[in-house]
Amino acid sequence: MSVLVDTSVWSLALRRNTSPPLDLIKLIDSNEVNIIGPLRQELLSGIKEMATFEKLKIYLDAFPDLPLFTQHYVEGARIGNLCRKAGVQASSIDFLICAVARLEGLSLYSHDNDFTHISTVVPIKRYPAK
């Protein structure tokens, strides 16, 4: 199973003084983790120490970005429009993440409740299944 791992999971695994979630380690070991450029940018943004930035950048280099195409952005806009019409608010990047997961047949691994709200409007395959 291929999984698109959201910033909330990466942050828990990489930026805190806790052990990474075991399921993330298993996904990494089985080469099932996917990342996209906007997630990489979110993870690297706001790091004040250049040494920490470089260390995280090098770690993330092990995970190549899934290529994004016009249809991903169009689908992200469609999902965003549907959600806003239903009163569900989230960021444009969150809508793009959902679009990529849906179009690429990936499960989305996130601790962000925005995806729970989005999934009330548009079906999203979640990891672990919710």
pLDDT in tens, 52-61: 999 999 999 9
CATH no. for 3-127: 3.40.50.1010
- What digits encode the pLDDT tens for the residues 14-47? 866 777 788 999 999 999 999 999 999 999 998 9
Structure tokens at 79: 């999902």
Q: pLDDT category, 117, cuts 50, 70, 90?
A: very high
State pLDDT tens for residues 5-18: 999 999 888 866 77
Measured CA to CA, the distance from residue 40 to residue 37 in angstroms comes to 5
Q: What is the dihedral of CA 78, 79, 82, 83, to 10 degrees?
A: -150
